[in-house]
Structure formats: C-alpha cells, structure tokens
Structure 1
Amino acid sequence: MGSRRYDSRTTIFSPEGRLYQVEYALEAISHAGTSIGVLSNEGIVLAAEKKVTSKLLEKDSSEKMYVLNDQCVTAVAGLNSDAGILVNTARVYAQQYLARYNEPVPIEVLVHRLCDIKQGYTQYGGLRPFGVSFIYAGYDDRYGFQLYTSNPSGNYSGWKATSVGANNSAAQTLLKQDYKEDISLKEAKELVLKVLSKTMDSTTLTKGKIELATVSKKNGKIVTKIWKPSEIDALLKETGIVKEENEENEEIN
C-alpha cells in the first residue's frame, strides 16, 4: 500500500530510496525470453529464446537479434517495441561517429551512449523507463572482442559470459560452472545452446525456438552474422542437443 504513493511518478524516490518504475521495468524483463552471451578469444556468441513460434511466421524473421553496425550485434530481452527505438538510435549514432571520425565507433562508447539515453528516461517527468535489457557483442581495435549488458536504469557492465531475461539466476549458475578462460568459438556455441536447453520453458530445443548471432574474425575482417534457422538446425544436430525436428505441430500464441 505504501508504494502506491511513490510508484506513479518515475522521478519520485520512496523513503527507502527506491525508484519503483525502474524496478517494475526490471521485473518486466525477468519475464522475457532468456538471452545469453559468451565471449571467447575467437569471437562472441549470442543466443536467445524465441517466445513467438509459429509456422505462419516468415522463417528468417528475427525478434531478438539486431545488427548495430559492421562490428556489433545485440540481443534483447523485454519489450521489443522499446528495443526498436534504441536499436535505431544506436545505428544512427554509429554511422554519425563513422562519418565524423572515419573509423568505427568503439563498442563501449556506443553502449555508453545508449545508457545515457536510458538513464534520462528514469529522471524526467512524463517519461517511463525503457523496459528492455541488452547484451552487446562487438569488436574494436583497442580492446578486441567485448561483451556488455545494460538494463533500464542506464547501468552497463562488461562480461565474459552473461544472461538476461527469464531464469537468469539458473543461466548464470550454469555459465559459472562451464565457462573457461580459453574457450573456443565452437565451444562457446555449444555452451550457449546447452544453457538455453536447460533454462527454456520448452523441453525441446529446435531451430524455431531460438535465435543465434555471432561476431568473429575471418581473414582479418570482422564478420557479424545473424544465423538462419537452417544453419541453427545444422548446429543443433552437430552438437547432439536435438535429435529430431518436431516444431511443425507446435504453436505458441
């Protein structure tokens, strides 16, 4: 009952020093599909649970993975509509930086820019926090491959392996157990699929229920890639995590 006096305005602190609207945004994210990122010396792997699965959807449609520029990909957890405006902002800023300085934007600078915007939406009246968390996977010449997360409060942090969304605690525990410092890109792919298979609500991991993206280096050039369902299916069969395809008869509304 006491919180109702303070939760109708984004900018009002409760007597305990809490901003309820920010906490509500974080709670919304905790119910979103799990997204996972793993960093290796050879690149970065992002994987996410796809909540809406239907045979009527376009096969290559993506709701969780977005390319921000030629060196950065992001996975989202939360409200996709909120994510869309921030993704567009990041893309514009990345191109403006490239035009001004004639070099790709450093990954942390890009993350910092988005977090400044998110923080502003916790501070001014008439606005609400963005209900979305991001996992950023990118590369720049100074720090190499980097993995960051950010949340509605505007905080961000760097990680070797991380997760956001539903079943976050279980996913983090599994990542702590199985992550190793010298992990290869191939092992990182296997790890994210293994963690997703144990934390998703569904009992079977199939190409229609997950999205996958990678940032890697090939012939000295950075390659950002959002995987197609057929490529995910081949990877699942290669790793032995899925034995058969049974998604055609399954639809989640």
Structure 2
Amino acid sequence: MTSIGTGYDLSNSVFSPDGRNFQVEYAAKAVENGGTAVGIRCRDGVVLAVEKLVQSKLLVPGSNKRIGTVDRHMGIACAGLIPDARHFISRARTEASSWRKNYHTPIPVSSLSDRMGLYAQAYTLYSSVRPFGVTSIIGGMDEEHGPTLWMVEPSGVGWGYYGAATGRGRQAAKAELEKLDLPNISVEEGVKHAARVILIAHGDNSNKDKDFELEMTWVRAADPAAAAGQTEGPVKAMGKHEPVPKELVEEAERQAREDVKGDEEDEKMEG
C-alpha cells in the first residue's frame, strides 16, 4: 500500500485501505517538530524537563511555559503545538477538579491519564475536529503507588513509564534514559540526569545551533522513605508540583555541559 494519503487524509474519521489514520500520523509529526520533553520517575518523586527553543532574542526568558500544574501533586510536560498543549492542560485541570469534587481525594495519575487518553481519542473520531498535535508526559505522586509517570500520545494511547521522552530529540533522549537505574535514583539526581538528557537530545537534532531554555519541575515526596516503599501504608504527604529551584537547574545544566564536552573530547581522542 502507498505511504501517502491519496485522499484518505482529508478526514480523521476515515481509514486508508491498509488501516491507517493519516490525520493521527500527521499529529505525531507535529509533535516531532517541537522541543524535547522528558519525564523521569525516581524513588522519591518525579522530574519533568522540557527543551524550549529560543526563536527570538526579543523573547522574555521564562515565558511561554511548556509545563503546567494540574493539581497540587501533579504536573504535565508537553511537546508539540503549544496552543493544543494549553487546552489539554486546561482540560486535565477540569478532570482533576471534578474528581476532587466527586470523591474528595486527589486524582491518581493513572486515572487522569485514562481520562485524558479518552479525551484525546475522541478528537480522532469526527471529521469536524482534528487530533491534538501534542504528546503529554503526566507525572506526580499517588497516595497508594507513590511516584507515577504516564505519557499520552495524540492517538489517545497512554502508557506508564519509568522514563519517558517525546519531541524532536526523543530517540537520543530514550537512549540516554535506558542507561539509568531509574527506580533507584533520587529526585536531586534526576534533575542532573534530566539536564544531561535534554542537552544530548538538543545536540542530536537539526536545531542544535539554536539557543534553548531548560524548563524543569519536580514533585518530591515529603516522606522519601514512604515513597521508596521503605515504610508500610500509603504515602500520606504526597509533595507539591513546583519549579526546580533556579540555582539547582543552572548547576545541573553547567555540569551537563561539562560532562557532554568531556565525552566529546574522549571520543575525538579515541578516534
């Protein structure tokens, strides 16, 4: 079968003869054109990091956020079309608020992922709408399961991860994440690893000559021992989703640049 739409890509409610939905595939391509987003599930929390390409020297540093807070214990990092991401995060906040109103507890990360997956999938069913051009990494703390990380794709499918990457540099980022002992690192270590992964992913894509900002947030357990499963019972103090302190991000980025530069010099010597 042909790999181009040939008329079957005019509506996302129509399958091609070989069972493909081209509108969903186009949405996935839109995600690949965005900056890299990374999520790391640690033993005592979750780290979310995003590569924000600086398109103009006139931009105010820190503006145009790619990571949003959904509930006190949870955040979402997005790659792809930013307006789509803002609407997606807004809907996630509505779902979290509805869950609190009905059940009087914070919504579990897996439940929010299921709900947002269904919402994204609904936008692949009708010709009057288009799929979301965004992949979202949802990370937070659950009372029962502790640190939890999920990723929802434009098709609506969602998976639980120890380490997730999406966006332009996802392949290089995944390769670096697979080298880490993710279940056993702390969030402080996760910040350093996330900075390194984003830097390597940035250097591996076509925009490596452009400057970028590193946006990073975390959710740390107020009781790290409970989050790591070293105590019995649920994690009562789930922690708060908040930006990683600026000085810690700058130190992690500086160390990552030194490490990457050292690795490149070693490769040149070996070559």
TM-score by length of 2: 0.81
> Is the partner of 2:130 in helix, strand or coil?
coil
User: Could you say which residue in structure 1 is the equivalent of 2:227?
Assistant: none
User: Could you say which residue in structure 2 is the equivalent of 1:209?
Assistant: 213
Q: Shift in Å at residue 61 of structure 1?
A: 2.2
Q: Shift in Å at residue 241 of structure 1?
A: 2.5
Q: 1:65 to 1:228 in 2, by over 3 A?
A: farther
> Is the partner of 2:197 in helix, strand or coil?
helix
| Paired residues for 1:135-150 under 5 Å | 135-150=137-152
| Paired residues for 1:91-130 under 5 Å | 91-130=93-132
Aligned residues: 240
Q: Shift in Å at residue 52 of structure 1?
A: 2.9
2:192 maps to which of 185, 190, 193 = 190
Gaps in structure 1 of 5+ consecutive residues: 244-253
| Paired residues for 1:1-253 under 5 Å | 3-52=5-54, 54=56, 56-201=58-203, 209-218=213-222, 220-227=237-244, 229-237=246-254, 240-242=255-257
> Is the partner of 1:222 in helix, strand or coil?
coil
Q: Shift in Å at residue 129 of structure 1?
A: 0.3
User: Could you say which residue in structure 1 is the equivalent of 2:261?
Assistant: none
Moved more, 9-18 or 44-53: 44-53
> Is the partner of 1:127 in helix, strand or coil?
coil
Q: Shift in Å at residue 58 of structure 1?
A: 3.5
Q: 2:30 corresponds to which letter in structure 1? A: A
Q: Shift in Å at residue 141 of structure 1?
A: 0.9
Moved more, 126-135 or 166-175: 166-175
Q: Shift in Å at residue 30 of structure 1?
A: 1.1
> Is the partner of 2:137 in helix, strand or coil?
strand
Q: 1:11 to 1:41 in 2, by over 3 A?
A: same
Q: 1:211 corresponds to which letter in structure 2? A: E
Q: Shift in Å at residue 217 of structure 1?
A: 1.6
Q: Shift in Å at residue 236 of structure 1?
A: 2.9
Q: 2:67·2:75 contact (CA, 8 Å) conserved in 1?
A: yes
Moved more, 191-200 or 14-23: 191-200
Q: Shift in Å at residue 185 of structure 1?
A: 1.5
After superposition, the C-alpha distances for 1:116-171 in whole angstroms (9 at most, x for unaligned) are 11101101121110100000111111211100001110000000011000121111
- How far, CA to CA, are the matches of 2:45 and 2:209 in structure 1? 27
Q: 1:221 to 1:5 in 2, by over 3 A?
A: closer
Q: 1:76·1:134 contact (CA, 8 Å) conserved in 2?
A: yes
Q: 1:115·1:155 contact (CA, 8 Å) conserved in 2?
A: yes
- How far, CA to CA, are the matches of 1:173 and 1:234 in structure 2? 23
- How far, CA to CA, are the matches of 1:29 and 1:147 in structure 2? 19
> Is the partner of 2:54 in helix, strand or coil?
coil
Supply the RMSD in Å over aligned alpha carbons.
2.2
Gaps in structure 2 of 5+ consecutive residues: 224-236, 259-271
- How far, CA to CA, are the matches of 1:99 and 1:49 in structure 2? 35
Moved more, 84-93 or 19-28: 84-93
Q: 1:205 to 1:228 in 2, by over 3 A?
A: farther
TM-score by length of 1: 0.87
Moved more, 215-224 or 112-121: 215-224
Q: 1:38·1:161 contact (CA, 8 Å) conserved in 2?
A: yes
After superposition, the C-alpha distances for 1:29-53 in whole angstroms (9 at most, x for unaligned) are 1121000111111111111100235
Q: Percent identity?
A: 29
